[in-house]
């Protein structure tokens, strides 16, 4: 009888410890997720600054930040009031200028976490 009771208590203890270990791993990744989000935000801000200040853009680029995080930015433009369709490349003869609508997508990565932001500008 005592072996049965000890087995049940051991099973309950191992089940609870397994759940706690998973939760600890998840909460540790939350910090990485926040850093990845801010890296993606940095990519968006840099591209908007380039478009505003220099009125130029590059269709894709990456940059590594001091924290070890990095972002990858891609830009797609469309004419007038058309909706931006990310992933569909613009014809080479078509130029992006201040009259176009830009779709900027930035993916921030830090360790195992990735977060993406997409804006229309």
Domain boundaries, the chain: 31-120
In which residue are the tokens 């269709």 written? 59
Percent of the chain, pLDDT > 70? Answer: 74
Question: pLDDT tens digits, residue range 56-78?
Answer: 556 677 777 778 888 988 887 65
57 or 102: which leads in pLDDT: 102
The answer to whether residue 89 scores a pLDDT higher than 70 is no
> Which residues on neighbouring strands pair with residue 72, listed in sequence order?
62, 107
Q: With contact defined as beta carbons under 8 Å apart, do 72 and 43 qualify?
A: yes
pTM for this predicted structure: 0.64
How crowded is the C-beta side of 50, counted as CA atoms within 13 Å? 16
Q: What is the pLDDT of residue 98?
A: 53
CB 98 within 8 A of CB 107: no
Beta-carbon-side half-sphere exposure of residue 52 (alpha carbons within 13 Å)? 7
Mean model confidence pLDDT for the chain:
78
């Amino acid at each position: 009888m005592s072996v049965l009771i000890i087995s049940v208590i051991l099973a309950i203890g191992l089940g609870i410890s397994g759940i706690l270990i998973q939760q600890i791993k998840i909460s540790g990744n939350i910090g990485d997720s926040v850093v990845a989000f801010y890296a993606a935000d940095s990519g968006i801000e840099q591209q908007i600054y380039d478009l505003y200040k220099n009125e130029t853009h590059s269709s894709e680029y990456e940059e590594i930040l001091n924290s070890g995080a990095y972002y990858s930015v891609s830009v797609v433009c469309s004419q007038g009031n058309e909706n931006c369709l990310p992933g569909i490349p613009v014809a080479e003869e078509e130029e992006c200028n201040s009259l176009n609508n830009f779709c900027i997508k930035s993916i921030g990565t830090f360790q195992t976490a990735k977060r993406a932001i997409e804006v229309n500008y």
